[in-house]
Amino acid sequence: MARKAGIVVRFRGVRGSHPVPGPRTVRYGGNTSCVEVQAGGHRILLDAGTGIISLGDELFQAQAAPQGETAVAESIVLTILFSHTHYDHTQGLPFFKPIFLPSTTCFLFGPKTLELPFEEGLRRAMVSPYFPVNLEDLQSVRVLRSVKPSEVIVFQEGSMYPEVYNATRERHLYQNAPLKVWVGHSLGHPDGGVYMYRIEYRNAAVVYVTDTEGYVGGDRRVIQFARGADVLIHDSQYMPEDYTASVYPVQGFGHSTCEMAAEVARAAGVQRLYLFHYDPQYSDEQIDAMVERARSIFPNTTGAYEGLTVEL
Ligand SMILES: [Zn+2]
Ligand SMILES: [Zn+2]
């Protein structure tokens, strides 16, 4: 058996649009998008929906726990990559406790939306009178900036902090780094599309593609970006029948069906597909049905649920 690469993926929130607590969503969970990826001692979070809040509580408690005589509380260092700044991907951030600790170091990256820089887009998610604390007041935020698909986010050997390089011109500066994150741009979502991220560590790759709508024959841009990945996390908001329903049509909303996700997984030749970003209307049983449907196209499909941990 091949040696493990040493990547741990944990789904913290798998729902799209808005949180849905209640008995219908117990198994898959009702929190909005957040995926935690750990590799090489680094912690990378993909989006900051309400799923990020429970991680914050865990990290905060670990910090506050009484230490043994020789133990020293480790400072928290993390990088949050935003696909875009729609609420369901940012609404957990103001409630993510470690971000308020001066001992935490946070690096936040994301796309420009239309002409709005990422910094400004995120700032508007935390502003008076809608929230009592402004983004500028958070002492933990070290870097807050837009990245471009022509750039790569890199963790160099021995460094805890990410650096951003031009993917082609500066290749010689980062090509031997153990952990790299490639930035992709999908156009299948309102307001200029979303970012996709491809995290590569040692011999493994995890690809995150949320909030994107499929095209006929599969979105070639997404397929190329996900090519050969070990794990593909893909938007699966709708059952095909609901996508084409005549009463409440959702075509053009910028989301995929479970079949679109499976077609991308098959065309990209990935190892495993995790369905993600489910419509808040769907019960656990309806998501089970989506998973079955996707498996008829791509057998190695799992419906991501809150707390699911995948080790590579
Ligand atoms: Zn979303
Ligand atoms: Zn969105």
**pLDDT tens column, 239-253:** 999 999 888 889 999
Q: Taking the domains of the chain in order of start, what are their residue ranges? A: 7-64+74-311
pLDDT exceeds cutoff 90 at 111: yes
* Residue-level pLDDT at 134: 85
Residues 261-286, mean pLDDT to the nearest whole number: 98
What digits encode the pLDDT tens for the residues 184-229? 999 999 988 999 999 999 989 999 999 999 988 889 999 999 999 9
How far does residue 167's CA lie from ligand 2's centre (Å)?
26
Ligand index nearest the alpha carbon of residue 13? 1
DSSP 309: E
Asked whether the beta carbons of 183 and 208 are under 8 A apart, the reply is: no
* CATH classification for the domain delimited by 7-64+74-311, as one of 3.40.50.720, 3.60.15.10, 3.20.20.70, 1.10.357.10: 3.60.15.10
Residue 138 pLDDT grade (very low, low, confident, very high; cuts 50, 70, 90) = confident
Residue 88 phi/psi, 5-degree rounding, is -65, -5
How far does residue 8's CA lie from ligand 1's centre (Å)?
23
The pTM of the full predicted model, rounded to 2 decimals, is 0.95
Angle 150-156-162 from CA coordinates, rounded to 5°: 60
How far does residue 31's CA lie from ligand 1's centre (Å)?
11
Q: Characterize the bridge pairing of strands 301-303 and 272-276.
A: parallel
Residue among 91, 31, 26, 97 nearest 58 (CA): 97
pLDDT mean across residues, the chain: 93
How far does residue 157's CA lie from ligand 2's centre (Å)?
34
| Burial of residue 241, with CB atoms counted within 10 A of its CB: 0-12 exposed, 13-18 middle, 19 or more buried | exposed
pLDDT exceeds cutoff 70 at 69: no
* Residue-level pLDDT at 1: 56
Residues 6+ apart with CB under 8 A from 1: none
* Residue-level pLDDT at 62: 82
How far does residue 201's CA lie from ligand 1's centre (Å)?
26
How far does residue 209's CA lie from ligand 2's centre (Å)?
11
